Amino acid sequence: MSTKINNIVELKLEIARLKKLKSEQELYLDTQYTLMRTKLETPYRVIRTITSQIPGYGLVKGLISSASNMDSDNNMKKGSSSDWLTRTLQLGLPFVLNKTFLKKSGWLKKSLVLLASETAAGQINQNSVTGVISKITEFVKPNKKRKKHKDVPPLEEEPDVINFGVAPGGETY
């Protein structure tokens, strides 16, 4: 609705009308947002209740959520204790040791080795593995040094003579 404004009184009335319209629209959008949020939270609460009853869900969720605790430089964000590599090693190393090296050992030896392996895996994180790999690659990479030829004199050009790329005694047709 476009009305022609002729004087200052009409301008002030139009500004007041637009402010009232703005507040009404904000109130409407706020109630719609609240309604949509409650509609979406209900299925989430049901799913969260069901998954909380599944044994081991918290462990898997913690393992997956630690991958999202990384910032853009692959460093851990504040408040997160370990990265995905550390958690995977803490879960997988005891399993691998049980299936391979500790098949015929007793429960005391298994528990001591598994406790030590979890502690050792806790010390390994992505940054330490990345550091070791970068040191290995620096050691393996050949040093690229340019050789300077000292025997060859530098090319000297006379600044007064213009070089057109044609020999001075050359013929042109």
This prediction's pTM? 0.33
Q: What is the pLDDT of residues 29-67, one digit of tens each?
A: 999 999 999 998 888 888 888 887 877 777 667 656 655
Please tell me the distance from the alpha carbon of residue 116 to that of residue 110, in angstroms, as a whole number.
10
The gap from C-alpha 124 to its chain's centroid, in whole angstroms, comes to 20
Structure confidence at residue 164 (pLDDT): 65
Alpha-helical regions (H) of 53-124? 57-67, 84-99, 107-123
Please tell me the distance from the alpha carbon of residue 112 to that of residue 84, in angstroms, as a whole number.
24
Residue-level pLDDT, tens digit, the chain, 173 residues: 577 889 999 999 999 999 999 999 999 999 999 999 999 888 888 888 888 787 777 766 765 665 555 554 555 454 445 677 777 777 788 788 888 888 888 888 888 887 888 777 777 777 788 888 888 888 887 776 666 666 766 666 666 666 666 666 666 65
